[in-house]
Amino acid sequence: MFFGEKSTILKVDNDLQHKQAVDDLFAQMRAADNATNAEAAEMQLFAEITKSGSPSIDLLMVEAMTDNQNGDLQTAYETLQTITQSAPMFAEGFNQKANVEYQLELKDDAFVDLQKTVALEPRHFAAWAGLGAIYEERGDYKNALNAYKNSAYYNPNYDEATRGIFRIETLTKGVIM
């Protein structure tokens, strides 16, 4: 074995295991026969998708999420800026950044980052629901409904998606979109 080859093999194995775990959890959540099972898979999925594969990025993510929970939105935002610049293929970094941007009333920025999230991880039901909410606020009910339906497709038990679909369908009943 050449120098460094073993660590490269371990990294590839870890990446494949992570990808398989994420795929399995998305499938479990989608196939869940009740909200309790879906929520259990969702919690495990969230734990998996917040792992970037980089210990330093993962540490920054924990810090950003803690700052967000503690109401220090500006610090969380700055940390998430660093994360998304350093790991531009890490979907959850963009999703978390969008959540903070939305709270900071930077809704156009949140919209862009949610679009990046679903481009990187099309099954990200929470990002789809976030897009639905922003479209809904903009009065773009057709795209809001589509976004909420995408969210519900990937997680049929996700309340935000089902409530969003109900709101839009009720609001637009009889209206051709």
* pLDDT at site 14: 63
CA R_g for the chain = 18
* pLDDT at site 163: 97
Distance of alpha carbon 123 from alpha carbon 92, whole angstroms: 12
Is residue 58 a contact partner of residue 66, using CB atoms and an 8 Å limit? no
Task: Please report, for the domain that includes residue 86, its CATH number.
Answer: 1.25.40.10
* pLDDT at site 8: 41
Structure tokens of 68?
């967000």
- 137 occurs within a structural domain: yes
- 177 occurs within a structural domain: no
Count up the domains in the chain and report the number: 1
Distance of alpha carbon 50 from alpha carbon 75, whole angstroms: 18
- 101 occurs within a structural domain: yes
- 67 occurs within a structural domain: yes
Q: Residue 64 is part of which domain span?
A: 5-171
Q: Which amino acid, residue 99?
A: N
Distance of alpha carbon 153 from alpha carbon 112, whole angstroms: 22
Distance of alpha carbon 24 from alpha carbon 39, whole angstroms: 14
**Residue 37 class from Cβ within 10 Å (0-12 exposed, 13-18 middle, 19+ buried)?**
middle
**Tens of each residue's pLDDT in the chain, 177 residues:** 444 444 443 444 567 888 999 999 999 999 988 889 989 999 999 999 999 989 999 999 999 999 999 999 999 999 999 999 999 999 999 999 999 999 999 999 999 999 999 999 999 999 999 999 999 999 999 999 999 999 999 999 999 999 999 999 999 986 666
DSSP state, residue 1:
-
The SS3 of residue 34 is coil
* pLDDT at site 119: 97
* pLDDT at site 93: 97
- 176 occurs within a structural domain: no
Using alpha carbons, select from 8, 97, 93, 9 the residue that is nearest to residue 49: 93
Using alpha carbons, select from 77, 25, 17 the residue that is nearest to residue 46: 25
